[in-house]
Structure 1
Amino acid sequence: MELPVREEELQEIEELCSAATPGPWHVRTLNDDSAMNLVAVSTVPGAGAGERWPDFDHRDLVAATLVQHPRYVDVGDECWDENAAFVAMARDAVPRLVEEVRRLRALLADKDEGEGVSV
């Protein structure tokens, strides 16, 4: 059985979130002669599938889940799109989840103190 998340762990998660590039993040599908079939996470939404350089700014990209040619980034289960969607979603969701854990803990603490607050 997993132990509950300690406050120190929540603080570490919060610090990592604060240090990362601000969100929101978006999934981008890019394609050019240097990075064929590039699935990436970006700070700006894409204009559509298969954008080609120089029509995108590489400085907007924060992560890649597929760079097929040359084969720099690849994953055996072929979940490139799903992984990119997860990374993009996590940028906003993780800080919200940390806040929710703390909110629920405060409600439980109030309830334990006899204030009658329910979760």
Structure 2
Amino acid sequence: MQRTTNISDDELKLIQMRCNNATKGPWVSYVEDRDHTSGGNFIMTGDNNNRGEDIELIGATIADQEFIAHARQDIPRLINEIRRLKQLLTDIKSS
């Protein structure tokens, strides 16, 4: 069921908390025969200086894997943009 109400500050905090608790980024999707030649598809976590465990998905499409990998970077950016826009609305209403 899709919600049609605004995202509350409490909901944003919960989303941010889930993001902060996830394995550190960046996350990068690697697809066999596109990005490398053997070993299967996976999501690499962290970077070369602080690499985490790889994430391997069962039953996911390439599009699913790409979405999940990009979400690690996209969600924090979206949260920041929502907060910026909420602040802008507050500023406009108070002026």
TM over 0.5: yes
Q: CA deviation at 1:6?
A: 1.0
Q: CA deviation at 1:64?
A: 2.4
Trace 1:1-119 onto structure 2 (pairs within 5 A).
2-29=4-31, 31-32=38-39, 38-43=40-45, 60-61=53-54, 63-65=55-57, 73-75=58-60, 80-114=61-95
Note the alpha carbon deviations across 1:26-63, whole angstroms, 9 max, x for none. Answer: 1123545xxxxx32211268xxxxxxxxxxxxx631x3
- 1:11/1:44 Cα in 2 relative to 1: closer, same or farther (>3 Å)? closer
Kept after mapping to 1: 8 A contact 2:19/2:72: yes
Kept after mapping to 1: 8 A contact 2:43/2:69: yes
Tell me which structure has the larger Cα radius of gyration: 1
Structure 1 unaligned regions, length at least 5: 33-37, 46-58, 66-72, 115-119
Note the alpha carbon deviations across 1:58-92, whole angstroms, 9 max, x for none. Answer: x631x323xxxxxxx215xxxx2111111111101
Aligned-pair identity in percent equals: 29
SS at match of 2:56: strand
CA RMSD of aligned residues (A): 2.2
TM-score (norm 2): 0.76
Q: Partners in 1 of 2:20 and 2:46 — Cα distance?
A: 19
Q: Partners in 2 of 1:90 and 1:74 — Cα distance?
A: 18
Is the strand fraction higher in 1 or 2? 1
Structure 2 unaligned regions, length at least 5: 33-37
Partner of 1:50: none
